[in-house]
Structure 1
Amino acid sequence: MAVVTDGKAGIERWIADTFGALPSESNGDVLRALARYLGSHPTRLGYAQRLANGRSIGSGLIEGSVKQLVNRRMKLTGARWRVEHVGPLVELAAVIETPDWHDFWTAA
């Protein structure tokens, strides 16, 4: 919950506390990897502010959209898909729901 309430500073404190409590036989590589990852994404950790603004922090909306839009289409009877075509389908399905759709469509 530290990342939700205190953002980047909270998760950094949690990592430091957890690292300090590791057993002597543990090398802490997982915590170091987590710290490196989070260090390269500092603007993505403003969960407290997002919640205060009434915005979602979960991935349920994204996962539900993928299930409804992508899975349903890919599982059509007789449909055949190549792996390299799935990414562009997901990107297209995502851009349709944004204000950028009109510019994208008219540029094609």
Structure 2
Amino acid sequence: MSLNERYWGKIGIETWIADRFGELPAGTEGEPLIGLAADLLPHATRLEYASRLARGRSIGSGLVEGSITQFVNRCLKQTGAKWKVAHVGPLVELAALIDTPDWNTLWVAA
């Protein structure tokens, strides 16, 4: 199973959230992760994001998806940039964390 397949569908999203809990610094409660899990719960039968992306279908608003795509493309296509596929996911996760209320706590803990 590839890393991407690990996070497919409802079970995949739950696995991803559980994995992030395992990475939290000591003393961090993970309230954003709890909120994410609660937000996704009513949509359990509709969470097939990885397979939707594989088929070329969108997973979010055009604005959000476009912004993320532009950011990742800028990073990956910089002159002299040599990215490994395995490092793209952590880049996106880091970029997403920067704008959260937990960023300062996580940055200091690192």
**TM class by smaller structure:** 0.3 to 0.5
TM-score (norm 2): 0.45
Which structure's CA Rg is the greater one?
1
